[in-house]
A and B are shown apart, each in its own frame.
Chain A
Amino acid sequence: MAPKKSSAKTKPKPTTVRLDFAPPASKRIDPLTAFAAPKPKGKAKETEDDRLWVEIYEPTSQTELAVHPKKVEDVRRWLEEAFVGGPSGKLRKYRRILALTGLAGVGKTATIRVLAREMNCEVLEWRNAMGDNAYTGFQDDHQTLFSKFENFLERAATCNTVFAGPSSSQTKRRIVLLEDLPNLLHADTRTKFHNAFQALVASPDPNPVPVVLIVSDSGTRGEAADDRLLTGQSRERDDAMDIYTILPRDLLNGPYVTQIGFNPIAPTIMKKALQSMIHSHFSSQTSNAPSKEILDVIIETSNGDIRSAIMALQFSCIVELPSGKRKKGTKGNAKVLLEAITRREQSLVLFHLLGKVFYNKRKSFLVRVTHRTPVQRRRTFLKDKELDAALRDPPKLPHHLSAHERRTSRVNVDMLYADSPIDSSLFSLYIHQNYHQYCNEMEECEGVAEWLSWVESSGGEAWYQANPHQFHLLALGTLHSLPSPVPRRNQKCFKPQFFDYLTKEKDAWDADEDHRVGSWSRAEVVTELGGVLKARDTNPTASMRAPLSHQLFSRLDFVPGSDGSGLSQLSEAEVPGVVEGLVEDTDHVGGWETGNKNGGGWLEDDEIDEF
């Protein structure tokens, strides 16, 4: 997202065709604007533009986008396939819905807008027009918001615009952009919404208009969801908006929907973008430009959210930050301040969260990374050293506890908890799925397994009696039990199999239900009826066959060895991660603790390549 001030005002806005009454003010008003743009102090700037920088410096071309080029290319290819149909021309049928997912502020909307402009297509965007037509007595043609949405979707997908220029009415490409969605938390609306999409996909339109859905991820936190997750009734988290609530499951896995996940913006890319923005903003005078350190702090605290970074940047240009250029020692203050502004919860990527726990780094542990340059290795070394200096050694343990002697951990569990994108139940499942790869000895396994078991059974029967310290106990217990250093042998991180088996179990219970006779209890059917059922199956003369579904619980073939099937590896994109191959920032949490990053030290210790 590089600056282009001159073009900011003249740039062609994507036309938005509204099929219902549009609210007069289509610009989104940000409450921050109220005080984010006060009168500039001292010398008045030439441009008295009170818009936010985010809007002023909206990217206009692909080169200005701060998104990883590969992602942009993915989206572009999809759009091209949607319009042309790919090399064979047959793909068009399947390019109906594109879902862009990712955390807030990673450039999803910007990418679509830029590409739409570059590919010269019209963006039809839906916006929930709440209270636009103020209630004016009885209206015969009153529509609910949702039926408006349905109409919009239907018409946008099928009708050509009447107002299009005579020349281009046929050739003009259009996409439907859905970012502001109806209230999907309402079950009825969600069903209708799903139906609308099913209908859209099912319609045999030779000239379909592709639909782009933009979904900002938000992770799940809070322990109450546990219960529901466990009972296996529904994995859909009704109160969290994610791609699974927005699109029906079968559609999402079907051929018509493509999902492209956006990762948080890498610090290097963001730095470039912000620098060029500063460069053009302060082209005339350099005195007020924020210092390099502040820029670094902003990037670091934004966690890949470029919108928040730009906001923070603008903020830092408006108020005089305590540090300035003169005193470098006060940088910590600026950091604290900026962090307070830009800090986002759930900023730690799941993948890295697990890496931190499993690799169990402790004081005076040297990372031996062979494929780094000496400079980088040295930098890592220095950073670790500084980190270690801040860690205090634990008091010596008495003799009988000497088995529990450990060096101080470099992992700050409080930080982990604050930044964790998942709740403790899911966290324990992930640990459970993967811990054995990081153990050498049975004793270490025993430690982790015991902790998992204890933590899970601590607390009472009801959710509100649950142990509130589960996350901490688990993290600390795992760290305590695992060896340090953990041997690196190309461990892979897998997703928990728990849920797959839970669904299987549910199916089996249903089958069980079919076989209940009289007053048999479920467990009796499962454990004792199997033999007879099997005998009936093998006996061709048996007059009455039981439904074959009993095999779900009666048939168990022992396969020696552990089959790797059913294991799915946790990828970084799962909960958005860092752009692969470009940057590694696993240790940024560590950076917060001590605040000793020297200019642009991003390419440091890596964890990711090890996975």
Chain B
Amino acid sequence: MSLWVDQFRPRTLDDLHYHKNLSTRLKSLAASGDFPHMLFYGPSGAGKKTRISATLRQLFGAGAEKLKIDQRVFLTPSKRKIEVNLVTSNYHIEITPSEAGNYDRVVIQELLKEIAQTQQVDMNAKQRFKVVIINEADSLSRDAQAALRRTMEKYMSNMRVILCANSTSKLIAPIKSRCLLMRVPAPNSDEMTAVLTHVAKRAYFDLPPEAAQEIVSDSNGNMRKAILVLEALKMQSPDLSGPLSIAKPDWETYCHKIANLIVTEQTPARVMEIRTKFYELLSHCIPPTVIIKTVAEALVTQVDEPLKPEIMHWAAFYEVRMRIGSKKIYHLEAWVVKCMSLYKQSFFQFDMDDFD
């Protein structure tokens, strides 16, 4: 199945619709012959990966687009097998080490060493180095980041690393300092409208401006989401006229309902009820960070002003714990209980004030 997002993705740096000066910079970098390690960061759906692949094409030519997908098996020190998917071309290799969970260090070390120790054999290749793209670099464990840091220095002669992350805050400083940082900001609404219209043209239909407006405001600067919504809407009502109802994904509505549960009742029994909901979300693979963020955002719209910073503070607090710990549900629940008790306290305080 091919989605519009993938089908109409810009291939070259010239095709990109927005952030023109970023494109020029990338182009001149690729031409300079002194290509550094890079770190692309920015919100999801801003076009980081699109830019990375366009840069690759700029570096290596069309050959970088001949992709194949492999599965590699790594053996941990404790003899457990880990399967990791690799997307490779002759010139680069793309991995998502977070798939290996706690063993990402093994994957990083083995793979990078292997690539770095083999020279480029293709004599027609435009560059003497290979590129390793590491997705979701911000979810790399400390160990893996430390391993990466050493390898980046050691094998600079025949390998470049391109990291792709949502935020740089979770990367250790030595890695940041070894990379050229490229921030890819989210597109503004005009840029998004332009892209949507372009997609519609490529798919041979006309996008009413109201519909575009609707989609853009719904997708919060996430280009991928916008195009996906466009495709879904087109499938539901082919003419895209009249009032559009952009359905939120199930998990999002689910999170909003959890927020309702929190404000309507604060009892131990309700805690139990919410826990099952959280379990349900987790078992649908919704990342716990996304859960806590969505619920918190929904929650602050429903509480009084002084409580809002508190709720966000504790959400951040438990999000950190969640990252360290392994049983996510504990931390989600601890946060909910905290919020409930804060809410209840403020409620009672309010009552008392009223009484006085």
* Residues of A bordering B, CB below 8 Å: 230-231, 233, 428-429, 432, 436-437, 439-446, 449-450, 452-454, 456-457, 460-461, 497-498, 501-502, 504-505, 508-509, 512, 516-519, 521-524, 526-532, 534-536, 538-539, 542, 544, 546, 552-558, 560-563, 566
Contact = CB atoms under 8 A, between A and B. Distances in A.
Contacts of B281: 556
B228 A532 contact: yes
A532 B228 CA distance: 6
B268 A436 contact: yes
A557 B257 CA distance: 11
B87 interface: yes
B14 interface: no
Contacts of B287: 523, 526-527
Interface in B298-356: 318, 321-322, 324-327, 329-331, 333-334, 337-338, 340-341, 344
B143 interface: yes
Nearest to A432: B330
B198 to A, nearest CB: 19
Contacts of B3: 517, 532
Contacts of A539: 235-236
A526 B252 CA distance: 11
A425 to B, nearest CB: 8
B183 interface: no
A501 B279 contact: yes
Given A445-B271, A528-B249, A535 B330 contact: no
B80 interface: yes
26 contacts: A230-B327, A432-B327, A432-B333, A440-B268, A443-B341, A445-B340, A445-B341, A446-B337, A446-B338, A456-B321, A456-B326, A460-B324, A508-B285, A519-B135, A528-B225, A531-B249, A534-B250, A535-B233, A535-B235, A536-B235, A538-B236, A544-B1, A556-B250, A558-B254, A561-B273, A562-B272
Nearest to B250: A556
B6 interface: yes
A204 B238 CA distance: 60
B284 interface: yes
Contact of B232 (A436, A498, A531): A531
Contacts of B325: 453, 456-457
Secondary structure class of chain A's binding surface, majority of residues: helix
Contact of A498 (B99, B286, B327): B327
A157 B340 CA distance: 62
A98 to B, nearest CB: 35
Contacts of B327: 230, 428-429, 432, 456, 498
B224 A528 contact: yes
Q: Which of B80, B324, B337 has the most CB of A within 10 A?
A: B337
Given A230-B326, A521-B96, A534-B232, A501 B251 contact: no
A407 B94 CA distance: 60
B269 interface: yes
A453 B287 CA distance: 18
Interface in B72-114: 80, 85, 87, 94, 96, 99, 101-102
Given A524-B44, A531-B247, A556 B254 contact: yes
A534 B341 CA distance: 38
A512 B285 contact: yes
Contacts of A460: 324
Nearest to B249: A530
A231 B101 contact: yes
A526 B330 contact: no
Nearest to B322: A457
B214 interface: no
Contact of A519 (B94, B269, B280): B94
A49 B321 CA distance: 65
Interface in B10-43: none
Contact of B251 (A440, A509, A530, A532): A530
User: Which 7 A-B pairs rank lowest in CB-CB distance, beginning with the nearest?
Assistant: A457-B325, A562-B273, A453-B334, A504-B283, A535-B232, A556-B250, A436-B268
Contacts of A512: 285
B282 A505 contact: yes
Q: Which of B80, B254, B279 has the most CB of A within 10 A?
A: B279
Contacts of B290: 523, 527
Contact of B272 (A436, A446, A509): A436
Contacts of A502: 283
A533 to B, nearest CB: 9
B321 A453 contact: yes
Given A531-B229, A538-B236, A436 B269 contact: yes
Given A505-B282, A512-B285, A453 B250 contact: no
A356 B226 CA distance: 55
Contact of A442 (B94, B101, B222, B341): B341
Given A230-B326, A432-B327, 16 more contacts: A453-B318, A453-B333, A453-B334, A456-B330, A457-B324, A457-B325, A461-B143, A497-B279, A508-B285, A517-B6, A522-B285, A527-B287, A532-B228, A532-B235, A534-B250, A539-B235
B344 A442 contact: yes
Contacts of B269: 436, 562
Contact of B286 (A456, A519, A527, A536): A527
A403 to B, nearest CB: 14
Nearest to A530: B249
Nearest to B331: A453
Contacts of A531: 228-229, 232, 247, 249
B142 interface: yes
Contacts of A505: 282-285
A453 B338 CA distance: 12
B57 interface: no
A535 B251 contact: no
Contacts of B120: none
B169 interface: no
A312 B281 CA distance: 54
B177 to A, nearest CB: 23
Nearest to A563: B276
A432 to B, nearest CB: 6
B76 to A, nearest CB: 11
Q: Which of A457, A521, A539 has the most CB of B within 10 A?
A: A457
Contact of A526 (B44, B96, B284, B337): B284
Contacts of A519: 49, 53, 87, 94, 135
B101 A557 contact: no
Interface string B251-278: 1011001000000001111011100110
Contacts of B143: 461
Contacts of A508: 283-285
Nearest to A541: B235
B205 to A, nearest CB: 15
B228 to A, nearest CB: 5
